[in-house]
Structure 1
């Protein structure tokens, strides 16, 4: 029961644990449940006096769960190629660049990740011969990551499989894909993502 201070008496109502996902965890493919736990969480939110934000809670939790589901599908494709989605994105960024190379700082900015994450991904890709570090031709302080022929082949093989198995059918009705992209673009814009 909700108390006046908004705290739920956990002896009467155990805490609700929405399906929140931490992006670094390895996720197994989803197993169907007999009921929708997010719909139940929505019902509980409303019953406990938080009905005004229940839709927001359900939207955020649904996005987190959808990310979990899609990451499992993507990981299934990339794992045999010894790639994570972060390393795949880095390879594709280099593949799309005019010269096949970018400064590490620019990679972090474009992928919106911390410099240590870029360093770690480049280290892994370099160890596999898919990327090599090169000195910047005009800035002695900067290092370039350059895609190799093996990196290019791996990126293209991964893209072919992802296009076929995930991107062609992300699990939404055809008319819902563009609508979802527009909604998420608006969310990202409002959050200052770009």
Structure 2
């Protein structure tokens, strides 16, 4: 249930105090980091959900449409979508099923692999994702709650955390042209 007023005390700071009081000082910083990131995720997702609700989109459906709209021809193999979105294949399948049901995307046979499917954004899907992107840009992304330097620093730190967890590697340098 959403709150209308801020809490008088930061519950995460209180949790850290309790962690230390219970002898878990070595873990207190990590617990505070994890809990803070999770809470920030909840706050940002609430803003995103509120912005996407008038468009009848969840963030998962929005991401899939945006991914398809970014491609040159508005299509990509299902396996590529799964890899890029970094979610379980069942989640992608369910998201695509709903997009197809709402005529925002279509499935087509893969031109080479008869077992695979191509995902294709429809004109209605492209129109909807463009309008939803404009709303997200205005209501969330242009003012995420930090200034530009702070935003860049948080992104840099989280990228270090993600890379350290094996989420991605640095791209290999391209060979010099012959």
CA contact (8 A) 1:29 1:73 kept: no
Moved over 2 A (4+): 27-31
Aligned partner (choices 35, 52, 60) of residue 9 of structure 2: 35
Correspondence 1:24-173 to 2 at 5 A: 28=2, 31-173=5-147
**Size of the alignment, in residue pairs?**
168
Alpha-carbon distance between aligned partners in 2 of 1:100 and 1:81, rounded to the nearest angstrom = 20
Match for residue 176 of structure 2?
none
Query: Can you give the 5+ residue segments of structure 1 that lack an aligned partner in the other structure?
Result: 1-26
After TM superposition, the score normalised by the length of structure 2 is: 0.91
For 1:121 and 1:30, how far apart are their aligned partners in 2?
A: 32
Q: Distance in 1 between matches of 2:128 and 2:38?
A: 29
Root-mean-square deviation (CA, aligned residues, Å) is 1.3
Q: 1:120 to 1:30 in 2, by over 3 A?
A: farther
Indicate how the Cα distance of structure 1 residues 70 and 30 shifts in structure 2: closer, same or farther if over 3 A, else same. farther
- Distance, in Å, in 2 between the alignment partners of 1:31 and 1:101 is 45
Report the CA distance shift for 1:61/1:32 in structure 2 as closer, same or farther (over 3 A). same
The secondary structure found in structure 1 opposite 2:112 is coil
Gaps of 5+ in 2: 169-178
SS in 2 for 1:122: helix
